[in-house]
Structure 1
């Protein structure tokens, strides 16, 4: 008589498929986390550039104290050019560069704003900005706006569900206040 073996050896096909399914779900989770990390990295880069652009405008304003320190000025920049609602005192319409030339304070302010606008348009997605000054002593608010892609690990809930569920991008802004 042949002895009967009660011990099973190896894996069945069902066990192998279950193990493969568990590994596949884990790999999909890792891929999702990688996508979120890449998006967060891009978001951080854009936000850092926005802060640097605002700081560069503040530095230009402080360097031109003859203009920014004495005039209540406001301007809006968009698409690499000075916006139509610019009301800089004594600014005029000059777009000459003051990088290698001696300029009057108002012309320097115009040149600085043009360079700043070009930097916003080149560095940020749909980048725009504004400088608003008022009061005595003069206080200016430098604002940088840009478009940013939204990516969330979890679906939005509650009040934000209606706004974020259909939108993939949103407008963000960075503000800094300076006394030139």
Structure 2
């Protein structure tokens, strides 16, 4: 009778190692999913930073053009956008997703540039800068 009791206990523990391996596999899979989610977040943040840097570069390049063409400064205003302004807006639209801009030039030579863009699935982002060109 004692032999049957020991035999019963041994048979009852069969498959326990398989259960442990299944739990370990589940924990490993959760870790992999966490790493994939982190990678997606980092990629999204990097893309956002790239667009902010591009907007800053485009604004500074327009300011540089304005400095070299001070005699025609009023033509860079969005309401009276001249040929140079149109070419810049075309570059902006090509480099930023749904990129638009507003350029304001006051009579005193104060230039304000506001650039807006919208990444797919996100809200509208905005970069603005102001400088005085005299």
Under TM normalisation by the shorter chain, which class is it? 0.7 to 0.9
- State the superposition RMSD in angstroms: 2.5
Determine which structure has the larger helix proportion and give its number.
2
Question: Do the aligned partners of 1:141 and 1:178 also contact (CA within 8 Å) in 2?
Answer: yes
- The corresponding residue for 1:129 is 101
TM-score by length of 1: 0.61
Higher relative contact order (CA 8 A, sep 6+): 1
Alignment of 1:58 with 2:51, yes or no, is no
Structure 1: 5+ residue stretches without partners: 76-85, 89-109, 150-167
Question: Do the aligned partners of 2:66 and 2:76 also contact (CA within 8 Å) in 1?
Answer: no
Alignment counterpart, residue 36 of structure 2, candidates 31, 38, 42: 31
Report the Cα distance in structure 2 between the residues aligned to 1:18 and 1:121, rounded to whole angstroms. Answer: 52
SS in 1 for 2:67: helix
- The corresponding residue for 1:74 is 77
CA offset at residue 135 of structure 1? Answer: 5.2
What does 1:19-168 correspond to in 2, within 5 Å? 19-68=24-73, 71=74, 74-75=77-78, 86-87=79-80, 110-134=82-106, 136=108, 138-149=109-120, 168=121
SS in 2 for 1:176: strand
CA offset at residue 67 of structure 1? Answer: 1.8
Distance 1:37 1:73, change over 3 A: closer
Report the Cα distance in structure 2 between the residues aligned to 1:72 and 1:119, rounded to whole angstroms. Answer: 17
Structure 2: 5+ residue stretches without partners: 7-12
Report the Cα distance in structure 2 between the residues aligned to 1:42 and 1:73, rounded to whole angstroms. Answer: 29
SS in 2 for 1:12: helix
Alignment of 1:173 with 2:126, yes or no, is yes
The count of corresponding residues between Structure 1 and Structure 2 is 124
Question: Do the aligned partners of 1:140 and 1:179 also contact (CA within 8 Å) in 2?
Answer: yes
Q: Which structure is larger by alpha-carbon Rg, 1 or 2? A: 2
